[in-house]
């Protein structure tokens, strides 16, 4: 994760000299979901921190960060942003279907468009795409189970029924193929702690032997752990969450047996996207293309690289 | 209004006939072996006390209820009605006592609600407006079809309801106590409509408590008592008092009780310069211990609003003095504490919780008397209910009934019992006998007289003039939110009250309402019991 | 007025079995039968105890909702309110337990007063949680009553306000109990038991029992039902309708507060998704329990059963392997509708 921030800062340092001479004025608008879940809270935190950093580094740069509570509100927010003079838009869309047209309108005005995490339906709209890698997230998680567990029963807690969740879970299962690890049950728990507690309680009733749990998200992992603790079941060897919540990364760092690892899906990807976008205006080389941030396995060895004590997430 | 020549029975075969009809609810038989016939071109009145089986019979004839035994014969052929819609399809329409209209729709929209005229998938508003205007004109009304029902008076709404019923082809028209909420002038206009229906050859079934108007409008009567048919005869020579005797089964010559002479004590309630914005303007009066003071006037004259204002139920200005103390009530509870009680005219909307049982209703206003600490003493409530059922002669099949399952007269008695639990010294009773049968009426009159004899001060608000005259020491008549005058003693007459209430004399009013052609009959129709 | 009276019938006080009040219990029994058929793990004590314990929050909140709905009102803000109260409670416990430089002065003072012991922090948290929930309920009640605004709109508004406040307080993240010592002291409130009965179950039974007494045996309860049946009749009968209405919302607030006291020790944290859609679950529990949404009736015990039924349906879905996880929502919805149909057909028979 430090690498991703590093990418932004490197671009910043590289172009600063050239920019100073030109004294131009650039406005970048950032449209992201409001902080309604831990992960999006992290996105907001990183976007705001990066905005301060970039404005300090690039003279004449103005960054407007705008959060929206749902897809329709985000479409409205985009329209509002466009009434101001905006040179570039960094957008983390709520969902691709709803917002593709809104972003297309923005693009038509000649605005530079950077899309983060969730790709648009029409890839030709975006100049830069910074993508989290959901299939990779599932694959890395699955591989961890296959490697450490080798054989045994696993239960899976899914998120909210979305493409993201589907990509993660199907690739998780694909990664288990050929190993002795078997998914004995999976249910939706909506990336929500309380729902995860409830589903896990029922899993524990239903399955007399569970070797490990893929909670697929750190919020859900916390609910799962309470249920396991209450049931006093010692057959469960570990719980794997995901997304790199600071509390969980800390436990990995501290060597907690139940939480031996985590898989990153960094909310800081928005910082990368903002850095690349700023670099487009202040460096000589125009930025184009797709940047995929791979999901990384976080273990005790590299945990401190992923630990941000000041982030709310 | 052009008057059609009176038609006799159009044919030998009755349009609709009930053949030995019985109906039971559980073990209780509410209608037993009733046979009668409706002829075309004839107004047939069914009378009886509450609970006599009138409404059951009416519901069977209009398809709302199936008979337990016996059957219906339509045009000489036996028929089974599948429901009210089926009945309507066969030309039997019922005009409900309750106003069943959508307040926010226009008259035309209401008339065609559920049977909109369509053209190419869309509603044809223009056609419906035209047809509505035509139907209203046929009924002798000049209401614009685009008026929203919310803005109509009760009487006007009833006309809309009648118009709606008559929009479908009809051969049998059933009126269920249609004049309960109408003033005499408005009733007279309704009778004109009924006469036109009769002239057009429809068979009209008319259900009412008001015997003088039954005499005025009906050609034939059937009397029910306790679910049985006790008399069926032509109207000729029958007087209201005879009908009452048939209904009740005993002599009804003394409907009104002996009222003790007017007392001359200090006033217990004086109201000075009362104003209720939009309804009452500068009304003053005083009320003495043991006095029965009537308030007459047309519906909408501001009588109800005046007393709701006094009770703290409406915005009110003016001075109120109770037993020598100047006071102002912010809500009903304060008025109750000062010894006042108000029995509303709207017992279903404001008087009783229809979905609750009798006990809950009875003790609601005086609940404090039934709590110890903060717990309700159900035993004490039950005893109070037993006492109320006995003292007020509330006829409930079971005491765990809901208020909505009582007949109108028994609801009224329950409401009276409820307010009397407050042990008030000043009692305001608004329309004490609206929609109740003659037997209950007599009971309520005697109850009111008893209250006054015990020293209560009583206000009776009524639109029935015989009631005011028979019951009150004096009558204040209101018109348009102001006091139009006061009558007492020998000057109390229906004509004097109508004159004060409308500004014209009674026979003149009836002539205006009914049109010149029916003058003589109309004056008699609104006439004296 | 007695001379026309018919002789009073002798057998007037026949006690009739009230199928209406019984029907939620019958639906519950049917559901338990279904559960036993689809999974052999269903009828274990552990499982049933788990389900009953989990249903505690919704049951307690729904008992409050029974008052509001019986009075003819509606409160959509309870889920957000629960999240806010939980967040503030944890915040206060953290601050009082170990005041830091950023701790607001008043909480530092409070910390000095009760001492930094876990018990002191817990006490401060409980007092603040109950006070805040009462205030939230009062705000709803006052706005509905004196603003003369539809309760649907008012509580939709406060739902947004409470939710935004917790998001702001958590800065989009999580508010967690920091002191593990405090966690261990508090944890038994959810996970502990007295004589084998988990504490949350005892709490919701106690709340329901008190609520039943208030609703059925006091003048206030009678006034609630009168107000919900017909506001005009209540007013004309001298019922202090403004006070009654406000108190209904305050009781709802208090119930949310009590639910939070039981909720917080379970996971020791509040997030922006805490209590999401609890308002719908509470309202569903109330309706399944036989209280009409239009007001005028209140069935406290039915409500409690309704909450358990909701939780049971979810439990059966997870325990059975018959339904793909994609279709769980559909089957859950269908079971609830069927349960209601069974109930209504029983009620019509009376």
Spatial separation of the C-alpha atoms in residues A220 and B430, rounded to whole Å: 66
pLDDT of residue B445: 94
Mean pLDDT over A210-221 rounds to 91
The pLDDT value recorded for residue B173 is: 92
| B360 CB within 8 Å of a chain C CB | yes
Q: Which residues of chain B have pLDDT under 50?
A: 1-11, 516-529
Nearest by CB to C172, from A44, A192, A247: name it.
Answer: A44
Between A155 and A43, the higher pLDDT residue? A155
Q: C4 pLDDT exceeds 70?
A: no
Residue C134: HSE in the Cβ half-sphere, 13 Å Cα cutoff:
6
Q: How far is B338 from chain C (nearest CA, A)?
A: 12
Asked whether the beta carbons of residue A205 and residue C319 sit closer than 8 angstroms, the reply is yes
Q: Does B342 touch chain C (CB under 8 A)?
A: yes
A206 touching C (Cβ < 8 Å): yes
Look up the pTM and report it: 0.78
CB-based contact C240 B351, cutoff 8 Å: no
Q: How far out from the chain centre does Cα B307 lie?
A: 20
- B418: chain C residues, CB-CB within 8 Å: 237
Residue C256: pLDDT band with limits 50, 70, 90: very high
**Chain B residue closest to C229 (CA)?**
B353
B269: left (phi over 0), alpha (psi -120 to 50) or beta: beta
Placement of tokens 């509040």 in the chain? C270
Say if the Cβ atoms of A187 and C318 lie within 8 Å: yes
Q: Which residues of B touch C12 (CB under 8 A)?
A: 398-399
User: Closest to B375 (Cβ–Cβ): which among C12, C218, C234?
Assistant: C218
**The pLDDT of residue B250:** 67
Contact B518, B195 (CB under 8 A): yes
Q: Which of C223, C226, C235 sits opposite B332 (nearest CB)?
A: C235
Q: Is A136 in the C-facing interface, judged by CB distances under 8 Å?
A: no
> Tell me: the pLDDT tens digits for B7-38?
444 446 788 999 999 988 766 678 888 998 99
Question: Which pLDDT score is estimated for A156?
Answer: 94
Closest residue of chain C to B419, computed from CA coordinates: C237
Residue C132: both structure tokens together: 């805040």
Give burial (CB, 10 Å; 0-12/13-18/19+) of B261: exposed
Reported as a single tens digit per residue, the pLDDT across A249-308 is: 888 888 888 888 888 887 888 888 888 888 888 877 777 788 887 788 888 888 877 887
Mutate to test the interface with C, among B353, B394, B405 (most CBs of C within 10 A): B353
Rounded Cα–Cα distance for residues B402 and A175 (Å): 67
Average pLDDT over residues A72-99: 82
Structure tokens at B267: 């006033």
CB contact under 8 A, A198 and C314: yes
Could you tell me which residues are beta bridge partners of residue B402?
Answer: B357
Asked whether residue A108 carries a pLDDT value surpassing 70, the answer given is yes
The beta-carbon neighbor of C172 closest among A45, A191, A222 is: A45
List, as ranges, residues 171-230 from B with C-beta within 8 Å of C: none
pLDDT digits (tens, 9 = 90+) for A277-291: 888 888 777 777 888
Please give the C-alpha separations between residue B38 and each of B91, B133, B174, B460, in angstroms, as whole numbers: 13, 30, 11, 39
C171, C266, C272 ranked by CB distance to A36: nearest: C272
* Contact in structure between C258 and C63 (CB atoms under 8 Å): no
- Rounded CA gap, B108 and B127, in Å? 10
Residue in chain A lying closest to C265 (CA): A226
Residues of C in CB contact (< 8 Å) with A are 39, 41, 44, 46-47, 50, 54, 167, 170-174, 176, 191, 266-267, 269, 271-274, 276, 314-315, 318-319, 321, 325-326, 328
Q: Which residues on chain A are in Cβ contact (under 8 Å) with C171? A: 35, 41, 45, 312
Q: Tell me whether residues A36 and C318 touch, CB distance under 8 A.
A: no
Global ipTM = 0.82
pLDDT, position B252: 57
C226 part of contact set with chain B, CB < 8 Å: yes
Which chain C residue has the Cα nearest residue B308? C236
Say yes or no for a CB contact (<8 Å) between B446 and C1.
yes
C-chain CB neighbours of B428 within 8 Å are none
Query: Could you tell me which chain C residue has the CA closest to the CA of B357?
Result: C226
Whole-number pLDDT of residue C102: 67
The values of phi and psi at residue A39, to 5°, are: -65, -45
What subunits make at least 3 CB pairs under 8 angstroms with A? C
Q: Which of A44, A46, A185, A201 to mutate to test the interface with C (most CBs of C within 10 A)?
A: A201
Percent helix, percent strand, percent coil in chain A, to nearest 5: 50, 20, 30
| Lowest-pLDDT range of B77-91, B200-214, C12-26, C225-239 | C12-26
What is the average per-residue pLDDT within C331-339?
Answer: 81
Contact residues on chain C for A230, CB-CB shorter than 8 A: 191
Encoded tokens for C124:
């401060």
Of C16, C222, C235, the CB nearest to B360: C222
Q: Nearest CA to CA, how far is C196 from chain A (Å)?
A: 15
Cβ–Cβ of A41/C170 closer than 8 Å?
Answer: yes
Region of poorest pLDDT, from C34-38, C64-68, C239-243, C270-274: C270-274
**C98-149 pLDDT, tens per residue?**
777 667 777 777 777 766 678 888 999 999 999 999 999 999 999 999 999 9
Q: What is the mean pLDDT of residues A64-86?
A: 82
Average pLDDT, chain C: 86
For residue A3, pLDDT beyond 70: no
> Which subunits have 3 or more CB–CB pairs within 8 Å of chain B?
C
Write out chain C residues lying below 8 Å of A199, CB-based. 318
**Which pLDDT belongs to residue B10?**
45
Sheet holding B92-95, edge to edge: B92-95, B172-176, B203-207, B42-47, B220-225, B228-234
Minimal C-alpha gap between C182 and chain A (Å): 16
Residue B270: beta bridge partners? B286, B321
CA distance C349 to chain B (A): 13
Q: How far away is chain C from the Cα of A42, in angstroms, using its nearest Cα?
A: 7
From C171, C267, C314, residue closest to A226, measured CB to CB? C267
Task: With CB atoms and an 8 Å threshold, state whether B360 touches C226.
Answer: yes
Q: Which of C174, C315, C319 sits opposite A38 (nearest CB)?
A: C174
The answer to whether C301 and C127 have CB atoms below 8 angstroms apart is no
Angstrom distance (rounded) from CA A222 to CA A193: 6
With CA atoms as reference, report the closest residue to B387 among B352, B351, B356, B413. B413
10 Å Cβ neighbour count for B372? 8
d(CA B34, CA B71): 10
DSSP state letter for B347: I
Residue of chain A with shortest Cα separation from C170: A312
């Amino acid at each position: 994760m430090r690498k991703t921030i590093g990418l932004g800062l490197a671009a910043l340092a590289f172009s600063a000299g050239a920019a100073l001479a030109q004294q131009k004025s650039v406005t970048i608008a950032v449209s992201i979901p409001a902080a309604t879940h831990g992960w999006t809270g992290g996105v907001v935190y990183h976007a705001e921190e990066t905005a301060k950093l970039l404005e300090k580094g690039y003279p004449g740069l103005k960054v407007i960060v705008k959060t929206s509570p749902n897809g329709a509100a985000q479409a409205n927010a985009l329209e509002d942003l466009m009434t101001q003079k905006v040179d570039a838009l960094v957008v983390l869309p709520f969902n691709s279907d709803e917002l593709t047209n809104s972003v297309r309108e923005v693009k038509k005005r000649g605005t530079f468009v950077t899309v983060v995490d969730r790709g648009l339906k029409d890839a030709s709209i975006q100049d830069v795409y910074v993508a989290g890698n959901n299939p990779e997230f599932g694959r890395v998680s699955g591989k961890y189970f296959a490697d450490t567990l080798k054989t045994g029963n696993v239960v899976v807690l899914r998120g909210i029924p979305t493409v993201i969740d589907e990509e993660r879970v199907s690739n998780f299962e694909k990664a288990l193929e050929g190993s002795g690890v078997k998914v004995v049950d999976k249910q939706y728990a909506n990336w929500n702690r309380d729902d995860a507690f409830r589903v896990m309680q029922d899993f524990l009733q239903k399955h007399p032997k569970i070797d490990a749990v893929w909670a697929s998200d750190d919020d859900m992992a916390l609910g799962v752990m309470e249920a396991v603790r209450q049931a006093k079941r010692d057959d469960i060897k570990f719980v794997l969450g995901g997304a790199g919540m600071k509390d969980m990364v800390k436990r990995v760092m501290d060597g907690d047996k139940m939480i031996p690892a985590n898989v990153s899906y960094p909310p800081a990807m928005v910082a990368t996207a903002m850095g690349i976008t700023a670099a487009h205006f202040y460096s000589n080389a125009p930025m184009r293309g797709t940047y995929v941030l791979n999901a990384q396995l976080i273990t005790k060895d590299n945990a401190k690289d992923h630990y941000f004590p000041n982030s709310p997430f | 209004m052009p008057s059609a020549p009176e038609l006799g029975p159009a044919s030998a075969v009755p349009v609709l006939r009930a053949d030995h009809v019985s109906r039971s609810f559980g073990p209780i038989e509410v209608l037993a072996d009733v046979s009668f016939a409706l002829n075309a071109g004839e107004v047939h009145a069914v009378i009886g006390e509450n609970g006599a089986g009138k409404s059951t019979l009416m519901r069977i004839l209009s398809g709302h209820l199936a008979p337990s035994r016996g059957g219906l014969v339509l045009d000489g052929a036996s028929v089974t009605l599948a429901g009210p819609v089926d009945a309507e399809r066969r030309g039997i329409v019922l005009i409900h006592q309750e106003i069943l209209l959508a307040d926010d729709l226009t008259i035309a929209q209401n008339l065609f609600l559920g049977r909109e005229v369509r053209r190419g998938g869309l509603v044809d508003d223009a056609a419906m407006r035209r047809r509505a205007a035509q139907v209203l004109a046929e009924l002798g009304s000049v209401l614009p079809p685009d008026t929203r029902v919310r803005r109509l008076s009760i009487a006007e709404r009833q006309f809309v309801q009648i118009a709606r019923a008559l929009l479908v082809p009809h051969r049998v028209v059933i009126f269920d106590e249609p004049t309960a909420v109408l003033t005499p002038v408005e009733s007279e206009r309704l009778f004109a409509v009924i006469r036109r229906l009769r002239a057009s050859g429809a068979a009209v079934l008319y259900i009412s408590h008001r015997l003088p108007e039954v005499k005025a409008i009906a050609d034939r009567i059937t009397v029910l008592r306790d679910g049985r048919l006790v008399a069926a005869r032509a109207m000729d020579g029958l007087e209201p008092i005879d009908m009452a005797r048939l209904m009740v089964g005993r002599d009804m010559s003394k409907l009104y009780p002996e009222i003790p002479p007017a007392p001359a004590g200090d006033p217990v309630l004086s109201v000075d310069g009362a104003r209720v914005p939009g309804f009452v303007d500068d009304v003053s009066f005083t009320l003495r211990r043991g006095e029965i003071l009537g308030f007459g006037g047309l519906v909408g004259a501001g009588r109800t609003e005046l007393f709701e204002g006094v009770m703290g139920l409406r915005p009110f200005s003016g001075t109120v003095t109770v037993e020598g103390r100047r006071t102002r009530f912010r809500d009903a509870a304060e008025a109750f504490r000062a010894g006042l009680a108000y029995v509303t005219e709207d017992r279903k909307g404001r008087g009783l919780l229809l979905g609750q049982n009798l006990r809950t209703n009875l003790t609601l206003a005086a609940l404090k008397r039934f709590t110890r600490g903060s717990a309700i003493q159900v035993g004490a409530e039950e005893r109070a209910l037993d006492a109320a059922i006995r003292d007020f002669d509330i006829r409930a099949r079971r005491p765990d009934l809901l208020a909505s399952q009582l007949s109108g007269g028994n609801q009224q008695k329950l409401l009276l019992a409820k307010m009397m639990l407050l042990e008030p010294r000043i009692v305001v009773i608004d329309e004490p006998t609206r929609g109740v049968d003659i037997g209950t009426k007599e009971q309520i009159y005697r109850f009111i007289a008893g209250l006054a004899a015990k020293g209560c001060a009583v206000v009776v608000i009524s639109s029935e003039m015989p009631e005011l005259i028979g019951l009150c020491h004096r009558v204040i008549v209101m018109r348009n939110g102001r006091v139009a005058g006061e009558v007492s003693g020998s000057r109390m007459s229906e004509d004097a009250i109508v004159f004060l209430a409308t500004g014209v004399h009674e026979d003149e009013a009836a002539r205006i309402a009914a049109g010149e052609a029916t003058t003589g009959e109309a004056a008699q129709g609104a006439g004296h019991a | 007025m007695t001379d026309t009276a018919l002789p009073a019938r002798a057998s007037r006080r026949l006690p009739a079995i009230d199928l209406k009040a019984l029907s939620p219990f019958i639906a519950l029994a049917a559901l338990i039968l279904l559960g036993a058929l689809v999974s052999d793990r269903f009828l274990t004590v552990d499982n049933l105890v788990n389900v009953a314990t989990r249903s505690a929050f919704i049951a307690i909140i729904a008992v409050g909702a029974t008052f509001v709905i019986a009075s003819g009102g509606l409160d959509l803000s309870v889920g957000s309110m629960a999240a806010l109260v939980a967040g503030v409670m944890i915040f206060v416990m953290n601050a009082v337990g170990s005041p830091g430089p950023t701790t607001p002065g008043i909480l530092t003072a409070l910390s000095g007063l009760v001492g930094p012991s876990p018990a002191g922090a817990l006490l401060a948290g409980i007092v603040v949680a109950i006070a805040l929930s009462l205030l939230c309920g009062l705000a709803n009640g006052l706005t509905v009553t004196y603003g003369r605004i539809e309760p649907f709109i008012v509580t939709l508004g406060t739902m947004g306000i409470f939710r935004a406040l917790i998001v702001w307080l958590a800065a989009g993240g999580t508010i967690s109990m920091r002191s593990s010592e405090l966690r261990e002291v508090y944890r038994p409130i959810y996970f502990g038991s007295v004589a084998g009965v988990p504490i949350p179950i005892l709490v919701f039974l106690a709340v329901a029992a008190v609520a039943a007494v208030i609703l059925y045996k006091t003048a206030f309860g009678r006034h609630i039902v009168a107000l919900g049946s017909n506001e005009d009749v209540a007013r004309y009968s001298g019922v202090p309708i403004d006070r009654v209405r406000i108190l209904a919302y305050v009781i709802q607030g208090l119930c949310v507060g009590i639910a939070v006291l039981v909720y917080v020790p379970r996971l020791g944290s509040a997030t922006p998704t805490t209590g999401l859609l609890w308002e719908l679950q509470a309202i569903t529990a109330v309706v399944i329990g036989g209280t009409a949404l239009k007001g005028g009736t209140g069935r406290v015990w039915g409500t409690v059963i309704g909450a358990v039924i909701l939780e049971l349906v979810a439990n059966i879905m997870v325990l059975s392997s018959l339904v793909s996880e994609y279709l769980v929502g559909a089957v859950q919805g269908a079971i609830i509708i069927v349960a209601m149909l069974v109930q209504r057909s029983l009620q019509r028979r009376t």
